[in-house]
Amino acid sequence: MIYRYTVVIERDEDGMYIAVCPALPGCYTQGRTFQEALDHIRDAIALHLRARQDLGEPIPIETAIEEVEVVLETPSRPAG
């Protein structure tokens, strides 16, 4: 069976890429490059799903993905 999950990849202050799969709590990894982090999270997701399967736990299915746009106004500076 094929599963699809959203992953979030961010770069930390040390330059490492951190990859997280929000639908699978505790499923995260890192890499020196974006591609390495992406490859690692793919492996981590597969291991996570296999472990759930072996334990007889349900495999979460992501049903909706939505991006939210937020606009922040630049704060005004006090005169002085």
pLDDT of residue 68: 86
pTM summary value: 0.80
- Please tell me the class of the 1-80 domain: alpha beta
Per domain, the residue ranges of the chain are 1-80
Write 28-35 long-range contacts (CB < 8 A, 24+). Answer: 34/9
3-state SS, residue 71:
coil
Tens place of pLDDT for every residue, the chain, 80 residues? 899 999 999 999 999 999 999 999 999 999 999 999 999 999 999 999 999 999 999 999 988 778 889 999 888 777 66
59 touches 51 (CB < 8 A)? no
Cα-Cα-Cα-Cα torsion 29, 31, 37, 39, nearest 10 degrees, comes to -100
pLDDT of residue 80: 64
